[in-house]
A and B are shown apart, each in its own frame.
Chain A
Amino acid sequence: ILNVEQSPQSLHVQEGDSTNFTCSFPSSNFYALHWYRWETAKSPEALFVMTLNGDEKKKGRISATLNTKEGYSYLYIKGSQPEDSATYLCAFIAGTYKYIFGTGTRLKVLA
């Protein structure tokens, strides 16, 4: 059974703090890793798709790195803002149709 784990489960930070989360996935049968931002009562919003070992992606204050050999990805948020509050999901893509999601990291940024 393929398992994707995210840590921490939840996180509270102060506005302006930088933070990071981890997504751990199987290091075999890797096709791609996807990060999503999910706000309550909305659909998940795609942040990054990462396919190559050593990939680094950036969008504004959010960035991500990928290590396929050891099976982990980090998501970083620099200078957190209240609007960054959401659940951050990673999805391990094990094949053309097979997305396996982690349970997410719930981030709350306190003003």
Chain B
Amino acid sequence: SQTIHQWPATLVQPVGSPLSLECTVEGTSNPNLYWYRQAAGRGLQLLFYSVGIGQISSEVPQNLSASRPQDRQFILSSKKLLLSDSGFYLCAWTGDSPYEQYFGPGTRLTVT
């Protein structure tokens, strides 16, 4: 069966520090991968999606970036965090059916 991992689970970082969140998927190949963020009081916002290694589409312009160095690995990064980057970050994947999306456990990021 497929499993999706995210780490770390929680993170507290000062403004201006770098960020790296990692997501890996097991039990499937060539998944479509997604990064979402939920800011306080808001819905889930799609940040990036990837249909293959090195292929990244950005949905919202911001100071975040994403990379997909391996088939089942998706990384969310920032060179300098802003206060507004605080939120709950979720990684998700879809397989052959785009209608079924599965989420990882999430990372709670607090920028201080």
Contacts and interface: CB of A to CB of B under 8 A. Distances in A.
A31 B46 CA distance: 17
A51 interface: yes
Interface string A48-74: 010100000000000000000000000
Q: Is the interface of B mostly helix, strand, loop or mixed?
A: strand
A97 B103 contact: no
Interface in B32-69: 32, 34, 36, 42-46, 49, 51, 57
Residue of B44, B49, B103, B108 most packed against chain A (CB within 10 A): B44
A89 B44 contact: yes
A42 B46 CA distance: 18
B105 A43 contact: yes
Interface residues of A, number: 23
Given A44-B103, A49-B99, A91-B101, 16 more contacts: A42-B105, A42-B106, A43-B103, A43-B106, A44-B90, A49-B100, A91-B44, A93-B98, A93-B99, A97-B49, A97-B51, A98-B46, A100-B46, A101-B45, A103-B43, A104-B43
B52 to A, nearest CB: 12
A25 to B, nearest CB: 13
Interface magnitude class on chain B: 20 to 34
B62 to A, nearest CB: 16
Contact of B99 (A32, A43, A98, A100): A32
B46 A99 contact: yes
Nearest to B98: A96
A34 B98 contact: no
A46 B34 CA distance: 16
A97 B35 CA distance: 12
A99 B49 CA distance: 10
A43 B101 CA distance: 11
Contacts of B34: 97, 99
